[in-house]
């Protein structure tokens, strides 16, 4: 996979986005553990290429996004860079453009995406997680959007995504109070889909991802298009694309394989075609 190379710090330490493919899962790992995996400008720039690589790789059935280690998912943007890279109107516009393109790359990939959340998921990190289709959290994870305590403004796209997930009243509470939520509260609000034990989290998450990876890729693509379309008002802009994706399922070898496997009472072996 091609990469936009990040810049090493003075002591040689290099925050980066790591990518690998294992067992049908494309892993995108946000690696900046010194700062609870805060995302640098260079890291934001890497994300669209990683997503493009996963989209083009037929062996990738599901994309998992996680932080490096078990002390945090992503703490948000690396604010230590702001004085150098986000202090003028031109720099703010450029930084926002790069962040927006990273978010659009995650939200726009046609394959299922799952955020695996540990310990802390705050600010821009929560925004990154909300760009994924599903969010799985360890039971000790804490969530927050502390913008109101920092004087920050959130772009419309990020606010809309939160509203789409939790509804306007819950989104208002999350922003207005800027308080921390535990995993049980996050589940109740709809911020996350599932809570897993902190002990054995990685193994349980891998099992969850493997279950998705075994399913029919064309079906998941069609469902994802329809789910996105359902959020558009008054109707999906490209209903024809959704209908074509559904028809592709019925025209596929996988549809025949699914029926054959059901009749034979065996697990299906889908090939994405």
pLDDT at 6: 53
pLDDT at 1: 39
pLDDT by residue (tens digit) across 157-209?
888 889 999 999 999 999 999 999 999 999 999 999 999 999 999 999 999 99
* Rounded Cα–Cα distance for residues 66 and 11 (Å): 25
Strand pairing class (120-122; 134-138) = unpaired
Beta bridge partners of 21: 26
Task: Determine the 3-state secondary structure of 192 from DSSP.
Answer: coil
CATH number belonging to domain 16-213: 3.90.226.10
Residue 15: which residues within 8 A CB-CB, separation 6 or more? 6, 9, 31, 32, 34, 35, 38, 40, 42, 43, 78
Work out whether the CA dihedral 47, 5, 35, 97 comes out positive or negative.
Answer: negative
Give the mean pLDDT of the chain. Answer: 86
pLDDT at 2: 38
pLDDT at 24: 93
Q: How wide is the angle at C-alpha 128 spanned by C-alphas 83 and 214, nearest 5°?
A: 150
Q: Which two tokens stand for residue 77?
A: 């943007």
Provide the residue-wise pLDDT of the chain in tens; the chain has 273 residues.
334 445 556 556 788 999 999 999 999 999 988 888 988 888 999 999 999 999 999 999 999 999 998 888 988 877 778 778 777 888 888 888 888 899 899 989 999 999 999 988 988 888 899 999 999 999 999 999 888 887 877 778 888 889 999 999 999 999 999 999 999 999 999 999 999 999 999 999 999 999 999 999 888 888 888 888 887 776 677 778 777 877 877 778 777 777 878 888 888 888 878
**Residue 154: CB atoms within 10 Å:** 16
Encode 185-216: b = buried (16+ Cβ within 10 Å), e = exposed.
Answer: ebbebebbbebbeeeebeebbeebbeebbebb
Which element (helix H / strand E) includes 134?
Answer: strand 134-138
């Amino acid at each position: 996979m091609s990469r936009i190379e990040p810049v090493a710090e003075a002591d040689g330490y290099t925050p980066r986005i790591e990518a690998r493919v294992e067992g049908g899962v494309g892993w995108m790992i946000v690696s900046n553990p010194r700062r609870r995996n805060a995302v640098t400008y260079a890291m934001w720039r890497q994300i669209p290429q990683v997503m493009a690589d996963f989209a083009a790789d037929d062996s990738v059935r599901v994309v998992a996004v996680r932080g490096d280690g078990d002390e945090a998912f992503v703490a948000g943007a690396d604010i230590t860079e702001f004085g150098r890279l986000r202090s003028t109107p031109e720099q703010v516009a450029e930084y926002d453009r790069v962040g927006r393109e990273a978010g659009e790359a995650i939200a726009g990939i046609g394959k299922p995406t799952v955020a695996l959340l540990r310990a802390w998921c705050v600010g821009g990190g929560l925004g990154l997680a909300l760009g994924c289709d599903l969010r799985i959290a360890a039971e000790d994870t804490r969530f927050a959007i502390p913008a109101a305590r920092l004087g920050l403004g959130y772009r419309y796209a990020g606010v809309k995504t939160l509203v789409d997930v939790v509804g306007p009243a819950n989104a208002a509470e999350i922003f207005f109070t800027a308080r921390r939520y535990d995993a049980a509260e996050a589940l109740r609000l709809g911020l996350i889909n599932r809570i897993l034990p902190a002990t054995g989290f990685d193994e349980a998450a891998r099992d969850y991802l493997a279950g998705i990876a075994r399913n029919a890729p064309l079906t998941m693509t069609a469902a994802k298009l329809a789910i996105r379309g359902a959020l558009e008002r008054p109707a999906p802009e490209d209903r024809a694309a959704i209908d074509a994706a559904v028809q592709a399922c019925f025209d596929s070898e996988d549809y025949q394989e699914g029926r054959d496997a059901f009749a034979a009472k065996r697990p299906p072996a889908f090939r994405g075609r």
